[in-house]
A and B are shown apart, each in its own frame.
Chain A
């Protein structure tokens, strides 16, 4: 069974631009969560989607948004990029919602200059 895939793997953007990241979960998994990882901050929860509905949201500004499609694939969008948005963005999928074992993709490394 294929793992979680994320595209692109690396991205360089300038301040003020917007970016869209994509995540394809493991086949059959209906929950997709997004995390931001920065040095010293661990994994900060962004949001979770389950059956195309946002189930939970972390403490991030409204510039961060996401959606999930009927095939469970998910996209995350960040508008008006700031230097502080430079991070590794990780997507994780699980069979169901509820915060149990998650399977992570390799991440998208976003650099904002």
Chain B
């Protein structure tokens, strides 16, 4: 039962353009969402998060949008840079649920 889904296994974007990574969830108990970035041979690194009381959170070139009614969130990277090429994992948790549930990841390639 995949409660957090990233339906696009890969995405290619030109340098300087916008990258949009999508994530859907099914568990209505989730109230906190996170994005992690993973380079090969390294562990995931926390990128940005959003609480369910918000619909948008920005941090530099990264913005996460949350649509609670659609149970959908997205990560926007503007402008995309070659160093952003990595696997991005969406994750969700809740105070009551306690554990973090990760999606399967989307491999982003930013083409110079």
Contacts and interface: CB of A to CB of B under 8 A. Distances in A.
Interface of A: 4, 33, 35, 40-45, 48, 55-56, 58, 90, 92, 97-107
Nearest to B45: A104
Contacts of A107: 42-43
A17 to B, nearest CB: 25
A48 B102 contact: no
Interface residues of B, number: 26
A4 B44 CA distance: 11
B104 A102 contact: no
25 contacts: A40-B104, A42-B102, A42-B103, A42-B104, A43-B44, A43-B89, A45-B101, A48-B99, A56-B98, A58-B99, A90-B43, A90-B44, A98-B95, A98-B98, A99-B93, A99-B94, A99-B99, A100-B93, A101-B34, A101-B46, A101-B49, A103-B46, A104-B44, A105-B43, A107-B42
A106 B42 contact: yes
Contacts of A33: 99-100
Nearest to A99: B93
Nearest to A90: B43
Contacts of A106: 41-43
Contacts of B6: 42
- Please provide the 9 A-B residue pairs with the shortest distance between their CB atoms, ordered closest to farther: A104-B43, A99-B93, A42-B104, A43-B102, A99-B100, A56-B99, A104-B44, A101-B46, A42-B102
Interface string B69-82: 00000000000000
